[in-house]
Amino acid sequence: MDPILLVLATLDGIAYAALVFLVAVGLTLIFGVMRILNVAHGGFYAIGAYAAASLVLSVSGADLNPWLTFPALLVAAGAVGAVLGLVIERGLLRHIYAKEEVLQLLVTFAAFMILEDVQRLVWGVQPYAATDPVRLLGTVEVMGIPYNAYQIILLPAIALLVLVGLRWFLRHTLSGKVITAVTEDRETAITVGIDARRVFTITFVIGAVLASLGGALASPTTAIQLGLGAEMIVLSFAVVATAGLGQVEGAALAALLIGLGRSFAVYLVPELDVLIPYMIMVLVLLVRPQGLFAVAEKRRI
């Protein structure tokens, strides 16, 4: 393989993995606490991307300092995640926690479809491009190859920051410990005084904000159009399943594995690039059905 392609594939893979991680880690956090596989997560990602693009475009068009497009990305992500997360958890999921898992999955799938229609209604069908943040950061040279700094420095840096921050939050803050306790054993958490329902809301909103952050950060790098969310939810599900459901650190490594696998496929066997992430997932699950990083759950009677 041409060394230039090798470097390019690696850089592409890292950049992509950073985005996938942000979405996957929220998905896995929500699953860990609530035991719900939240398909609507793809909708949070897509609406985060649309909202960020709209805000960036209006900042760019309004004769303001162009660097304000960066806080605009974060503001869009926070607002979309908080509002959608609260509405879906309080309005929908809260009523079905006692129901069987299949129904919960179908309800989040329905929410995903509704969010797709919301995108169509609000943003129409034409694609959006809001590339100012990428342009502003310019390019850096990595082993002689110019690559845009936004994707190869900013995105991985934010992903790392989220990973480290989340680990710190879960281990060293009271809210984090409470979330960890509910993840491990919901019932016992209740008997030590933890309000599991409140923990569900907080966790779901954190997960939703992370998904829409992924979307917002992706928005300057790609054309934003319908179908964005579906692609991302399937891929981040592959990451979460590969890592093991509920694994935060594992999701980072699995995202890297799948991101790199996909980008190498793009250069080497382009006809397989869509397939590679799922082949990795299937291979891992054949050998370790609980995922790479999860310990098989002890049976409780």
Partner 1 sequence: MLALERVNVRIGAMHVLRNVTLEVRPGATAALVGRNGAGKTTTLRTVMGLAARSSGTITFAGTDLDAVPPHRRPALGIGYAPEDRRLFSAFSVEENILLPDRVARTRNADAARKLERVYETVPELKELRRRPAGSVSGGQGKMVALGRALMIGTRLVLLDEPFQGLAPALARRYGDALRRLRERERELSLVITESNPALLAGLADTTFVIERGEVVPAETAPDHVG
Binder of partner 1 out of 1, 121, 125, 192 (CB under 8 A)? 192
Report the site for partner 1 in 194-223 (rule: CB under 8 A): 194-196
B/e letters for 252-272, b = 16+ CB within 10 Å, e = fewer, are bbbbbbbbbbbbbbbbeeeee
Q: What binding mask, one character per residue, do residues 125-164 give for partner 1 by CB under 8 A, x or -?
A: ----------------------------------------
Contacts of 65 (CB under 8 A, 6+ apart): none
287 binds partner 1 (CB under 8 A): no
58 binds partner 1 (CB under 8 A): no
Binder of partner 1 out of 185, 227, 231, 289 (CB under 8 A)? 185
Binder of partner 1 out of 187, 270, 271, 297 (CB under 8 A)? 187
- Cross-strand bridge partners of residue 140: 147
- Of 184 and 231, nearer to partner 1 (C-beta) is 184
Quick one: how far is CA 35 from the chain centroid? 17
172 binds partner 1 (CB under 8 A): no
- Of 193 and 270, nearer to partner 1 (C-beta) is 193
Structure tokens at 245: 């459901």
188 binds partner 1 (CB under 8 A): yes
- Of 101 and 185, nearer to partner 1 (C-beta) is 185
- Of 194 and 253, nearer to partner 1 (C-beta) is 194
Four-residue CA torsion sign, 124, 127, 131, 132: negative
191 binds partner 1 (CB under 8 A): yes
Q: Is 71 exposed, middle or buried (0-12, 13-18, 19+ CB in 10 A)?
A: exposed
- Classify 260 as helix, strand or coil: helix
Rounded CA separation 257/153 (Å): 18
Q: How far is the CB of 200 from partner 1 (least distance, A)?
A: 12
Rounded CA separation 145/135 (Å): 17
B/e letters for 52-68, b = 16+ CB within 10 Å, e = fewer, are bbbbbbebbeeeeeeee
Q: Which of 194, 197, 281, 200 is closest to 236 using CA atoms?
A: 281
Binder of partner 1 out of 62, 121, 172, 193 (CB under 8 A)? 193
Q: How far is the CB of 191 from partner 1 (least distance, A)?
A: 5
249 binds partner 1 (CB under 8 A): no
- Of 120 and 197, nearer to partner 1 (C-beta) is 197
- Of 144 and 193, nearer to partner 1 (C-beta) is 193
Structure tokens at 151: 């994707």
Q: Are 295 and 246 in contact (CB under 8 A)?
A: no
Q: How far is the CB of 301 from partner 1 (least distance, A)?
A: 8
Interface residue list for partner 1 (CB under 8 A): 174, 177-178, 180-181, 184-185, 187-188, 190-196, 300
